[in-house]
Amino acid sequence: MSTSAAVPLLEVRQIQKFFPIKTGLFSKVTGHVHAVDGVSFSVKKGETLALVGESGCGKSTVGRSILRLFELTSGEVILDGTRIDNLSAGALRPLRKRIQVIFQDPFSSLNPRMRVHDIIAEPIRNFGLESDEAKIKERVVYLLDKVRLPKDAGERWPHEFSGGQRQRICIARALAAEPELIICDEAVSALDVSVKAQIVNLLQDLQKELGLALLFISHDLAIVEHMTHRVAVMYLGRIVELADRTELFSDPKHPYTSALLSAVPVPDPEKKTTRIVLQGDVPSPVKRPSGCHFHTRCPEAIDICKTKEPKQTILPSGRMVACHLREV
């Protein structure tokens, strides 16, 4: 895959999101959930960057923080050269249409009291993209065709559609704002395998046709390998490895990445793979281990891992890995 530009459309710089833990009658803050802790990456125009990791690693919080559904504890989010994390609601509004989102559960994402036509037309009206109702209707029909739904689907209600069809409606609604970046937050994880493949292929086709950038948040590495350009691996709120997709899948450098990839089913029965089984549970984001947060489960941990946090090392190939074993 090739991307359309070298200039980043989105830059995320050292973002943190800590959720306070409040107890007692006066809601005293007694601790914090360190959901995201110092995450940095960029997404180029026309590129797909995958954000992967186990449940609870903070990847969805990253996506929602970029959208300002959560306010950052610290860090910066820059959209095409404009910092957006510190903008007022009024100043942010015209920029919101440039970043749209597709959530995991399509049924919860759609207003059951609105027909599909009005659901898709809503962002067109809200962002002032068109005021003539005849042209809005024409635009909705066009978008329904883009996501491969019949034009009469606009007159029906969300509950009349299957899960895959509802997700297509969500994609059409996202496209209605004419975005440059779409955040796909586990957008296919609730779908059947065959439907999942159809939606992934649809997203790829739309990306090529419209030049969209995608931030693809997922735990499904088989899908990630199929559709992304680069992959960022998260563990306990931090990115531990970021590399080109082919490079990462063929030669993982971080022990956690190796463990994740070893769990991906291989369709070739003659190709033998060794499953790396991690011991123990993911540590609490409230009381994280000292040093490298992964050392309590890492099969390759050494003494320094217990006391010193690894730095993010840029290897000669350009990939980033945060592991004492790879420091140069």
pTM above 0.85, yes or no: yes
Residue 42 lies inside a defined structural domain of this protein = yes
The pLDDT assigned to 1 comes to: 45
- Output the domain CATH number for residue 45: 3.40.50.300
The pLDDT assigned to 263 comes to: 82
The pLDDT assigned to 320 comes to: 96
Burial of 281 (C-beta count, 10 Å sphere; 0-12/13-18/19+): exposed
Pairing of the two strands 230-235 and 48-52:
parallel
Residue 99 bridge partners (DSSP): 181
* CA 143 remoteness from chain centre: 23
What are the residues whose beta carbons fall under 8 Å from the beta carbon of 175, sequence distance 6 or more?
100, 143, 146, 147, 206, 210
Given the structure tokens 């004492």, which residue do they identify?
324
Residue 147 lies inside a defined structural domain of this protein = no
pLDDT tens-digit series, residues 294-313: 999 999 999 999 999 999 99
Residue 165 lies inside a defined structural domain of this protein = no
Residue 160 lies inside a defined structural domain of this protein = no
What are the residues whose beta carbons fall under 8 Å from the beta carbon of 122, sequence distance 6 or more?
114, 173, 176
Q: Into how many domains does the chain fold?
A: 1
Residue 174: which H helix or E strand, with range? helix 163-176
Residue 218 lies inside a defined structural domain of this protein = yes
Domain span at residue 183 reads 8-98+179-252
Residue 41 lies inside a defined structural domain of this protein = yes
Q: What is the pLDDT along the chain (328 residues), one digit of tens a residue?
A: 444 446 799 999 999 999 999 998 888 999 999 999 999 999 999 999 999 999 889 999 999 999 999 999 999 999 999 999 999 999 999 999 999 999 999 889 999 999 999 999 999 999 999 999 999 999 999 999 999 999 999 999 999 999 999 999 999 999 999 999 999 999 988 888 889 999 999 999 999 999 999 999 998 898 999 899 999 999 999 999 999 999 999 999 999 999 999 888 776 666 667 788 788 888 999 999 999 999 999 999 999 999 999 999 998 888 999 999 988 6
pLDDT tens-digit series, residues 84-105: 999 999 999 999 999 999 999 9
DSSP string across 197-250: HHHHHHHHHHHHHHT-EEEEEES-HHHHHHH-SEEEEEETTEEEEEEEHHHHHH
pLDDT tens-digit series, residues 135-144: 999 999 999 9
Residue 172 lies inside a defined structural domain of this protein = no
- In 3D, which of 166, 159, 122, 158 has the Cα closest to residue 140? 122
Angle formed at CA 194 by CA 145 and CA 167, multiple of 5 degrees: 45
**DSSP assignment letter at 192:** -
Residue 143 lies inside a defined structural domain of this protein = no
